[in-house]
Amino acid sequence: MSAMAPKRRRGIWSELVYMDFLAGPGRGLDRSTKAEFDGSPLRALKIVPPFDRLYLSDADANNVNALRRRIPTIDASRVVVSQGDCHEIAAAVVARLSRRSLGLAFVDPQGFEVKFKLFEILAQRPIDVLYLFPGGIGMARNVAAFAKRSRTPLDDLIPGWRELPRARLAAGQRVS
């Protein structure tokens, strides 16, 4: 918002929007201490200066219900919470945005449920994307298994990933 808000004051953008289509229940649990903490949607609500509108969703109805309960009443008018597939919700939200809206989309999947299609949808408007790729352990754990299958979630996320040296090695191919 430090970068976005001054442009709104100068009239460049009519609205500043935050999007999290994999929002979860709004709170997380520290694995080591078991302490609860605000997740990305609740943190975004507290940003100063504030976002004009926040679009939050999750595929899991229980997460959506928990998130709705955690939205302070004072913020309810600027928050839209939906339940459904992240790609379908994103398409509906982006279609409603004005061409003068500036957005920030936070994409933090648990696994490989996000497809490249999501980024194509978001690219239809001026939307910055903060994407936390399920790399590290997630990639290390899955690349060998994915390389042996003809179709995987990674094919929908990163077309051409099978040509990367690590993927070729995992598939038993020589890398020159």
Q: What is the CATH number of the domain that holds 85?
A: 3.40.50.150
Same domain for 80 and 54:
yes
The number of residues in the chain equals: 176
Instruction: Say yes or no: 37 and 112 in one domain.
Output: yes
When divided into structural domains, the chain yields a total of: 2
**Which regions in the chain score pLDDT beneath 50?**
none
45 and 95 together in one domain: yes
Q: Do both 151 and 162 map to the same domain?
A: yes
Same domain flag for 15 and 27: yes
Residue 145 shares a structural domain with residue 66? no
Q: Which of 118, 134, 150 is the last residue of a domain?
A: 134
Is 115 found in the same domain as 38? yes
- My answer on whether 31 and 90 are in the same domain is yes
Same domain, 42 and 103: yes
The reported pLDDT for the residue numbered 167 is 83
- Per residue in 4-53, pLDDT (tens digit) is 888 777 888 889 999 999 999 999 888 889 999 999 999 999 999 999 99
Domain that holds residue 156: 135-176
171 and 103 inside one domain: no
Question: Is there a single domain that holds both residue 123 and residue 144?
Answer: no
List CB contacts of 149: < 8 A, sequence separation 6 or more.
Answer: none
Same domain (yes/no): 98, 65: yes
